Amino acid sequence: MGLFYSVFGLRLHASEPIPGLVPTDRFDSADLEVYLEAIPEGARGGSAPSETLVFTSSILLESGEPTSRIWKSTARSLFRLEYFDGVECWVDSTGHSVWATWSQSSSREDAATYLLGPVLGFVLRLRGVICLHASAVAIGDRAVAFVGGAGAGKSTTAAALARRGHAVISDDIVALAEGDGTFVVLPAYPYLCLWPDSVAMLYGSGKSLPPLTPNFDKRQLTLVENSLSFEARSLPLGAVYLLGERSERDRAPFLETPAARDSLMSLVANSYANLSETEMRAREFEWLGRVVASIPVLRLRPHRDPARTDRLCELIEHHACSGVFKRLPTNR
């Protein structure tokens, strides 16, 4: 029978439990079928002559090997996502089915981190949903998104705001939908992923959180268990904050408004783009252009001193609650 979940606006049916997700009531139908410890019929582990390499990660291991690759079957409508630690996922080209396996040195939790991150980002993109490398929280009746690459502080900022009573909507991936002239953030899952130094900064060195997986040093901040809130509703996007380089200037943290072109290029650079299909990229560029034209996009410059985290949160709260996310003067 399997289990049913709701994540990123999708009704998901899984053959086995997915770590990190909370089961929900049975659906009449599912948007996405997930088969754990299984491969598609007729497929096999490892590359095959009928596969073409279509993507290689620019993130490299010490050995020089990429952390991930994506292959496309020329004989079947399948993509195969191959990760350095032995996790493999297959996605059908319509984004309606996913299969996942892992090696003996990996675990179900390892597979789940990929499934709930880059794999679902890939699936959503196949289904026409725009996704950003971002985290999002609710401030009032709107969502605010924190955009940036690895180590920018997306999850840490979301966690700091969560501790001040703001509900978390999404971590690492922000999926956006458009309707009736507005953009909404789709809710993800009820936990945040934090590095140990972020946990120590927010809670002190005595706080202990379980590892996200047995093979990864990131920690899992489960919201309910830590008296924090999860926002399960889709909320209108009120503002986007581009996390900039940390500053030592006395006035940090502070906000700037980049030129519209810079804002657009930052969003494009931090989006989940499926490979390099010209039509898909053109649609994404146009879509994100509408986001920049209608939603305030600010550059947020934190201070290097972690002790100013509360001031950072106060700055975000003040901006978000003053005049319904007013734009700041443009820096040119």
* pLDDT score of 330: 41
The answer on pLDDT for 29 being more than 50 is: yes
Average pLDDT score over residue span 316-328: 67
Highest mean pLDDT range out of 37-41, 102-106, 157-161, 214-218? 157-161
Q: What is the mean pLDDT of residues 29-43?
A: 91
Name the residue with tokens 């049916």: 13
Which neighbouring-strand residues pair with 218?
A: none
DSSP letters for 188-252: --SEEEE-HHHHHHHH-TT----EEETTEEEEEEETGGGT--B--S-EEEEEEEEE---B-STT-
Rounded CA-CA distance 302/79 in Å is 39
In whole angstroms, what is the distance from residue 206 CA to residue 195 CA? Answer: 15
pLDDT range class, residue 328, cuts 50, 70, 90: very low
DSSP state of 177: E
Cross-sheet strand order for the sheet of 32-36: 3-7, 10-14, 32-36, 97-101, 88-92, 78-83, 68-73, 51-56
Comparison of pLDDT for 125 and 169, the residue scoring more:
169
Q: Going from the N-terminus, what domains does the chain have, and what CATH number goes with each?
A: 3-126 (no CATH), 130-321 (3.40.50)
Quick one: which of 200, 196, 160, 166 has its CA closest to 309? 160
Strands (E), the chain: 3-7, 10-14, 32-36, 51-56, 68-73, 78-83, 88-92, 97-101, 130-139, 142-147, 168-170, 173-179, 182-186, 191-194, 211-213, 216-222, 235-243, 254-256, 297-301
Give me the pLDDT at residue 236, please.
94
pLDDT for 226: 95
Average pLDDT in the 44-52 region?
Answer: 67
Is the separation of the CB atoms in 295 and 183 below 8 Å?
yes
266 vs 274: which has the higher pLDDT:
266
Per-residue pLDDT tens digits for 58-89: 888 889 899 999 998 877 789 999 999 999 99
Residue range 137-155: mean pLDDT, rounded: 92
Specify burial of residue 194 (Cβ count, 10 A radius: 0-12, 13-18, 19+). buried
Residue whose entry in the numeric block shows the structure tokens 């990429």: 66
Q: Which two tokens stand for residue 287?
A: 């879509």
Work out the percent of the chain whose per-residue pLDDT is above 90: 63
Give the per-residue pLDDT at 244.
Answer: 86
Confidence of residue 273 (pLDDT cuts 50, 70, 90): low
Chain centroid to Cα 203, Å, comes to: 23
Cβ contact 91:118 at 8 Å = no
Average pLDDT, the chain: 88
Least confident of 84-88, 106-110, 269-273: 269-273
User: Is residue 23 a contact partner of residue 9, using CB atoms and an 8 Å limit?
Assistant: no
Low-confidence winner among 48-57, 88-97, 257-266 (lowest mean pLDDT): 48-57
Place of tokens 């209108």: 236
**What tokens were used for 23?**
């089961």
6-11: average pLDDT: 94
Q: Which two tokens stand for residue 70?
A: 């994506």
Give the list of residues 6+ apart from residue 64 with CB closer than 8 angstroms, or none: none
Give percent above pLDDT 70 in the chain.
Answer: 92
pLDDT, mean of residues 94-110: 93
pLDDT at position 323: 53
